[in-house]
Amino acid sequence: MPEIGATLREARMRERIDITEVESATKIRAKYLRALENEEWDLLPGPTFVKTFLRTYAEFLNLDAKVLVEEYKQRFERPAGQDLMPFGTNLGSRRDRRTRAPVVPPWLIVGAVLTSLLVLLFFLGRLGDEPEESAIAPNTVATATPTATPAATSRRRRPAASVRVRFQVVPIGLVNVCLVDAAGKVLIGSRDFGPGQPSREFRSRRFRVTFGNGEVRMRIGRRVVEVPDTDAAIGYEITSRGAKRLAAGKLPTCS
């Protein structure tokens, strides 16, 4: 039978394939391909890689990869040291070490847990039997709790209606808008807005707004509030807490 390397080289030359093309197609480095063709087995990483590279190279050249691998195994492969080592040696020692490891009986664990619970309950019972006054030192001086100043209280309890809110109309279609502020001043008087034509930003403690339909969104501070899709007029009361829908009879009119 022809040499393995010669068979590979002749097949490649017959197909007029450069070694770099084989490298690109098989992902095997060119120096290993040349080592296969020259049967320089010592230049290859090991028998396992030799057989893998040989099989891949042969299949690329449309050769019988199985025959070439068997030929290599019969002529060149020698049993590795680890293949001759009995399997039971190390495994047995590990089993022995695991067997000799101390094992805590389950009843001992249960007993330790129950003992800990009994001790804990005993101390909790002792604490519960002590009079309440014993927990207070005889010379303890009561400290006065700081009382909030009227100004701080007024700031904390400041009603939402007194907080100025920023409001803007953002149309998404053609919509008629009527907007009045907390004093009843008309800010937008029944004006039509189209998509991409937002109103300027208004500031007041409270707004009342009527939209001719639902083709609009509201920007309240940094929040954007959606308006239901409707063909009928719809209105809201705007405060710092958000938007509250108005009943049909309470919609502001700017006519």
pLDDT band at 160 (very low <50, low <70, confident <90, very high): low
pLDDT score, position 192: 93
Residue 142 pLDDT more than 80? no
Residue 145 pLDDT more than 90? no
For the chain, domain boundaries? 4-75, 160-250
Q: Are 224 and 168 in contact (CB under 8 A)?
A: no
pLDDT score, position 60: 93
Task: Round to whole Å and give the CA distance between 189 and 254.
Answer: 5
pLDDT score, position 105: 72
pLDDT score, position 144: 42
Write the pLDDT tens digit of every residue in 44-89: 888 888 899 989 988 999 988 898 899 889 888 775 544 444 444 4
Whose CA is closest to 188, among 93, 254, 92?
A: 254
Residue 17 pLDDT more than 70? yes
Residue 194 pLDDT more than 90? yes
pLDDT score, position 16: 92
Residue 96 pLDDT more than 50? no
Residue 114 pLDDT more than 70? yes
pLDDT score, position 47: 87
| CA distances for 48 relative to 2, 53, 77, 144, 152, angstroms | 22, 9, 10, 84, 82
CATH superfamily entry for domain 4-75: lambda repressor-like DNA-binding domains (1.10.260.40)
Q: Are 236 and 208 in contact (CB under 8 A)?
A: yes
Residue 94 pLDDT more than 80? no
pLDDT score, position 199: 93
The region, left, alpha or beta by phi > 0 then psi within -120 to 50, assigned to residue 196 is left
Q: Decide: helix, strand or coil at residue 218.
A: strand
| Token pair recorded at residue 84 | 């001759």
pLDDT band at 126 (very low <50, low <70, confident <90, very high): low
Task: Round to whole Å and give the CA distance between 92 and 111.
Answer: 35
193-216: average pLDDT: 92
pLDDT score, position 180: 93
| Phi and psi at residue 190, to the nearest 5° | 45, 55
DSSP states along 69-138: HHHHHHHT----HHHHS-THHHHHHHHHHHHHS----HHHHHHHHHHHHHHHHHHHHHHHHS-GGGGS-T
Write the pLDDT tens digit of every residue in 165-191: 999 999 999 999 999 999 999 999 889
pLDDT score, position 134: 40
pLDDT band at 161 (very low <50, low <70, confident <90, very high): low
pLDDT score, position 135: 38
How buried is residue 179: exposed, middle or buried, by Cβ count under 10 Å (0-12/13-18/19+)?
Answer: buried
Q: Which residue has the higher pLDDT, 220 or 5?
A: 220
118-133: average pLDDT: 63
Q: At what angle do helices 65-75 and 47-60 cross, to 10 degrees?
A: 150
